[in-house]
């Protein structure tokens, strides 16, 4: 579920995406070719989504407009974040990718080809955090990825979500 800046709610039932007002009255239905994996709003108010497997794009009216991604065959997009000015981080099964839609550029980070990344988060300092299923978590800082240390009980092997509090501390949900 996404709540956009207008206070509207976005949710899906199978392969239909719904926009609802604050009272949950349906405003529109958008047919999709597959079910959504992730849904976000960018700084311009555009709604972007990834469809299960390898489709990524934005809504234009009542239509999903996919953006062509190169080199991601056999990989699933599980999550993404908008960075601003139509740039994004996309992560998934064997996938870590930076995409600049506006300038039609992209970069795949092949060090994650065999890692299932489930979540991506940008903190208030602009650092990018990646959480995996079974291989721990990673920090992208100053143009480089760093695998972060795990705890002795290995609770940090599986990361589901990152959140930052008002003091700047980053918290993670784990198994």
- 73, pLDDT greater than 90: no
More confident residue, 125 or 175: 125
Report the pLDDT averaged over residues 30-47: 95
Contact 36, 12 (CB under 8 A): yes
Chain segment 135-148, per-residue pLDDT in tens: 999 999 999 999 99
Long-range contacts, stretch 51-59, CB < 8 angstroms, 24+ apart: 52/76, 53/77, 56/80, 56/88, 56/90, 56/99, 59/17, 59/30
Chain segment 86-123, per-residue pLDDT in tens: 999 999 999 999 999 999 999 999 999 999 999 999 99
Contact 132, 150 (CB under 8 A): no
Distance CA 110, CA 139 (A): 15
Global pTM?
0.92
């Amino acid at each position: 579920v996404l709540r956009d800046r207008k206070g509207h709610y976005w949710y899906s039932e199978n392969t239909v995406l719904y926009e609802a007002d604050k009272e949950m009255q349906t405003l529109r239905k958008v047919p999709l070719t597959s079910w959504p994996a992730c849904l976000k709003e960018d700084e311009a108010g555009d709604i972007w989504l990834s469809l299960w497997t390898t489709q990524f794009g934005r809504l234009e009216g009542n239509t999903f407009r996919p953006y062509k991604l190169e080199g991601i065959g056999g990989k699933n997009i599980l999550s993404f974040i908008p960075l601003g000015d139509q740039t994004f981080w996309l992560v998934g099964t064997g996938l870590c990718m930076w995409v600049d839609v506006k300038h039609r550029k992209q970069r795949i980070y092949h060090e994650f080809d065999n890692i299932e990344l489930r979540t991506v988060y940008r903190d208030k300092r602009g650092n990018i955090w990646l959480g995996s299923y079974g291989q721990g978590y990673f920090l992208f800082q100053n143009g480089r990825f760093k695998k972060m240390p795990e705890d002795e009980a290995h609770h940090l092997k599986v990361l589901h979500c990152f959140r930052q509090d008002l003091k700047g501390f980053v918290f993670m949900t784990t198994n």
